[in-house]
Amino acid sequence: MKSRKGKSTVGLRYKLSLPVVLVCCMVFFLAGFWGSSFISQDDKGSSINEGLHQQQLLGANGGEKAVSFEHGESGNSEISSFSFQVLSWKPRAVLFPNFASKETCEAIIAFSRSRLQPSALALRKGETVDSTKDIRTSSGTFVRAKEEKTGALDWVEEKMARATMIPRAHGEAFNILRYEFGQKYNSHYDVFDPAEYGPQNSQRMASFLLYLSDVGEGGETMFPFENYENVNIGYDYKECIGLKVKPRQGDALLFYSMLPNGTFDKAALHGSCPVIKGEKWVATKWIRDKPVSFR
Ligand SMILES: *[C@@H]1O[C@H](CO)[C@@H](O)[C@H](O)[C@H]1NC(C)=O
């Protein structure tokens, strides 16, 4: 890229001696080269970059002209805008409204529908598939971003990495889930406490959920211990209480299961309330504190 940039600078000096019209053309030409040099330095998600970057050059990014700063070798030139709402600090939970489009959500559902299997659980010592069968009743499938050929999941994964600033390599494969009438997931933690699950190589530090559908009624993501409420009430893990997040197609929810000092956040207990009307589709990604080798 450096050499291409060099050539066009020489070109500029030469053209400066030509009539004004040509100079103007050259300026636009250079702007294009300058832009493309940024795009091709970024080997991941370059098609996403291209679209957004061109919007910026045209000043068409929501009618405002975004100004892109010089970036490092590992950065990129595009300016993304996100809306977000902090839903809770205990646990740290943030909602991104309209994170993905309807088309993106529907492409992911279409790809996943035929691959669904009953969802499984990681078992604690002493638990069996049979003894735990009512805890999580959804169907699901694990999908790596690259397997979904429309690029929808790949795009979601890239945008997610930028929103969380946790590299893509830390994410497990997406778990695409469908909850039908009455289906739910009792409250649980995403971290694996070594005292219950044995030694762990890494931990699920954060969870990212993209709601792929609206739900008529029920199906909320709940945080029963939000603000450390209900911790001492002898809470029944089937009960749907505390902070409830209503699924809305295209919205994304991010929450952290670990505190900044690396210990588990007791307030990150969460579950999925039973679906009462309609169907709930969600794409979940567990983000670990170390790169994932099995993704
Ligand atoms: C980690 O942070 C939490 C919350 O601030 C605190 O209660 C806990 O004692 C800390 N643990 C360690 C090991 O620093």
Residues 278-294: pLDDT tens digits?
999 999 999 999 999 86
Tell me the average pLDDT across 135-157.
94
- Name the residue with higher pLDDT: 55 or 247: 247
Q: Whose CA is nearest to atom 14 of ligand 1?
A: 261
Q: Domains of the chain, with CATH numbers?
A: 2-58 (no CATH), 85-288 (2.60.120.620)
* Count of other CB atoms within 10 angstroms of residue 73: 6
Q: Which helix (H) or strand (E) holds 179?
A: strand 174-179
CA of 242 to the centre of ligand 1 (A): 23
Task: Decide if pLDDT at 3 tops 70.
Answer: no
Please work out whether the CB of residue 259 comes within 6 Å of at least one atom of ligand 1.
yes
Please check whether residue 278 is in contact with residue 160, taking contact to mean a CB–CB distance below 8 angstroms.
Answer: no
Residues 157-166: pLDDT tens digits?
999 999 999 9
Residues 123-137: pLDDT tens digits?
877 888 888 878 888
Substitution candidate for ligand 1 out of 89, 231, 259 with most atoms within 8 A of CB: 259
For the CA of 262, the nearest atom of ligand 1? 1
What are the E-state strand segments in 65-115?
85-89, 92-96
CA-wise closest residue to 54 among 43, 66, 42, 45: 66
Substitution candidate for ligand 1 out of 263, 264, 265, 266 with most atoms within 8 A of CB: 263
Angle at alpha carbon of residue 90, lines to 86 and 92, rounded to 5°: 45
Given pLDDT bands bounded at 50, 70 and 90, which one contains residue 13?
very low
Residues 179-220: pLDDT tens digits?
999 999 999 999 999 999 999 999 999 999 999 999 999 999
Give me the pLDDT at residue 31, please.
60
Tell me the average pLDDT across 249-261.
98
How many whole angstroms separate alpha carbon 40 and alpha carbon 49?
Answer: 9
Report CA dihedral (224, 228, 229, 233) to the nearest 10 degrees: 90
CA-wise closest residue to 99 among 122, 113, 82, 86: 82
Q: Whose CA is nearest to atom 1 of ligand 1?
A: 261
What average pLDDT does the structure give for the chain?
Answer: 84
Give me the pLDDT at residue 54, please.
41
Give me the pLDDT at residue 22, please.
61
Give me the pLDDT at residue 267, please.
98
